[in-house]
């Protein structure tokens, strides 16, 4: 089954599309069959980054039932092993997907035969964005080093985490227990996961342990993009620390990606930055982020197969 990597940011312009395109291209170059999907339907432009100026088909063909399977909307890109589903819409009304449509996309998405599927998500904490984080235990979050972007990314990560907890609690195993926990202590809510878990553990140690394991299975990652020389290189690690302290959520920092004016040139030429400017700090950083991501996945895989010991 594919590893699905939803990539989101709190703010438009942080570089989600650039990172999805670049990381997908690097994964394909490593020999992984990779699919990049543009789910930012209001501002779809992944096709341009991937050098496919006029995609023959797009997600709208699936949503409007012009094709019956999501797999039929996949188009190839100039790069070997790299495929995409464009979000370019003829009809802008569809920018906000109805819940049913989204669930249909998700149901089809998880069955597609790729090694990696990267999702380019819209900005912010709208339900449109959050639901796509639920398809996977892996979520990649992108921010720039600006305080406003950092504020927004913190809000997005918190919203995704709470939504994942809510989804776990909404299963028959935990539903009654969560209700009992809140009756015992009104502060034991989703928005207070530490306390909620402690009360649930007290009520039912076995299920409490199960829930703790489930919450620990979320592997969130952070990338700081458009890092300039004058920016503090430790901002990413600091954000992760704050998140783990305030939300009790482990989030791994994958690295900084340097700002480079030539990203603009690559976009204008509709070519891949990693091909046009391979010897830049930015490409070096992208490769490092990918290496960190792959080694974290390998570690997670090992722990899941053989336990933590």
Ligand X SMILES: Nc1ncnc2c1ncn2[C@@H]1O[C@H](COP(=O)(O)OP(=O)(O)O)[C@@H](O)[C@H]1O
Binding site for Mg ion (CB under 5 A): 16-17, 40
Instruction: Retrieve residue 208's tokens.
Output: 């409490």
Nearest to 179 by CA among 160, 154, 204: 204
Q: Give the Cα separation of 28 and 24 in Å (integer).
A: 6
244 in Cβ contact with 284 (< 8 Å): no
CB of 11 to ligand X, least distance (A): 7
List the one residue from 4, 7, 10, 14 that touches ligand X (CB under 6 A). 14
Nearer to Mg ion among residue 16 and residue 287 (C-beta): 16
Range 200-239, binding ligand X (CB under 6 A): 225-226
Nearer to ligand X among residue 162 and residue 259 (C-beta): 259
List the one residue from 87, 260, 274, 293 that touches ligand X (CB under 6 A). 260
**Element (DSSP H or E) covering residue 5:** strand 3-9
- Which entry of Mg ion, ligand X, none binds 260, CB below 5 to 8 A by partner kind? ligand X
Nearer to Mg ion among residue 4 and residue 123 (C-beta): 123
Number of chain positions touching ligand X (CB under 6 A)? 17
Q: Can residue 12 be called a binding residue for ligand X (CB under 6 A)?
A: yes
| Geometric angle at alpha carbon 256, from 252 and 257, rounded to 5° | 130
User: Which position has the token pair 């406003």?
Assistant: 148
198 in Cβ contact with 177 (< 8 Å): no
CB of 46 to Mg ion, least distance (A): 7
Q: Which residue is nearest to Mg ion (CB)?
A: 17
Q: Can residue 95 be called a binding residue for ligand X (CB under 6 A)?
A: no
Work out the burial of residue 243: count CB atoms within 10 Å of its CB; fewer than 13 is exposed, 13-18 middle, 19 or more buried.
buried
Q: Can residue 255 be called a binding residue for ligand X (CB under 6 A)?
A: no
Q: Give the Cα separation of 115 and 26 in Å (integer).
A: 13
Nearer to ligand X among residue 16 and residue 164 (C-beta): 16
Interaction mask 264-293, ligand X, x per CB under 6 A: x--x--------------x-----------
Nearest to 142 by CA among 287, 18, 279: 18
- Which entry of ligand X, Mg ion, none binds 175, CB below 5 to 8 A by partner kind? none
Nearer to Mg ion among residue 40 and residue 61 (C-beta): 40
Q: How many other CB atoms are there within 10 angstroms of residue 1's CB atom? A: 10
Query: From residue 208, how far is each of 64, 170, 203, 295 by CA, in Å?
Result: 43, 14, 8, 30
- Which entry of ligand X, Mg ion, none binds 263, CB below 5 to 8 A by partner kind? ligand X
Q: Can residue 86 be called a binding residue for ligand X (CB under 6 A)?
A: no
Which range binds ligand X by CB under 6 A, 95-103, 183-191, 230-238, 262-270? Answer: 262-270
Would you say how long the chain is, in residues? Answer: 309
List the one residue from 4, 17, 61, 145 that touches ligand X (CB under 6 A). 17
Q: Give the Cα separation of 7 and 14 in Å (integer).
A: 11
Q: Name the site residues for ligand X (rule: CB under 6 A).
A: 9, 12-18, 225-226, 257, 259-260, 263-264, 267, 282
């Amino acid at each position: 089954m594919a590893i699905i990597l939803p990539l989101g940011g709190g703010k438009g312009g942080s570089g989600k599309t650039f990172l999805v395109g670049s990381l997908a291209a690097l994964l394909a170059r490593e020999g992984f069959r990779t699919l990049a999907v543009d789910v930012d339907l209001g501002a779809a432009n992944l096709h341009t980054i991937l050098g496919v100026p006029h995609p023959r088909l797009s997600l709208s063909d699936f949503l409007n039932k012009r094709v019956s399977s999501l797999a039929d909307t996949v188009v190839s890109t100039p790069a070997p092993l790299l495929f995409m589903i464009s979000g370019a819409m003829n009809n802008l009304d569809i920018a906000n997907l109805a819940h049913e449509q989204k669930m249909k996309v998700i149901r089809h998405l998880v069955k597609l035969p790729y090694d990696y599927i990267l999702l380019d998500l819209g900005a912010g904490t709208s339900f449109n964005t959050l639901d796509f984080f639920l398809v996977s235990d892996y979520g990649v979050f992108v921010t720039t080093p600006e305080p406003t972007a950092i504020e927004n990314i913190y809000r997005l990560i918190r919203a995704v985490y709470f939504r994942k907890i809510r989804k776990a609690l909404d299963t028959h195993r935990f539903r009654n227990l969560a209700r009992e926990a809140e009756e015992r202590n009104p502060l034991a809510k989703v928005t207070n996961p530490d306390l909620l878990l402690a009360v649930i553990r007290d009520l039912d140690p076995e299920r409490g342990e199960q829930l703790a394991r489930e919450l620990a299975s979320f592997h969130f990652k952070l990338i700081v993009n458009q890092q300039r020389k004058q920016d503090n290189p430790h901002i990413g690690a600091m954000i992760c620390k704050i998140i783990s302290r305030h939300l009790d959520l482990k989030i791994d920092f994958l690295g900084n990606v340097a700002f480079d004016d030539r990203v603009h040139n690559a976009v204008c030429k509709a070519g891949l930055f990693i091909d046009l400017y391979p010897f830049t700090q930015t490409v070096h950083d992208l490769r490092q982020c990918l290496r960190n991501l792959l080694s974290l996945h390998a570690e997670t895989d090992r722990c899941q197969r053989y336990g933590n010991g």
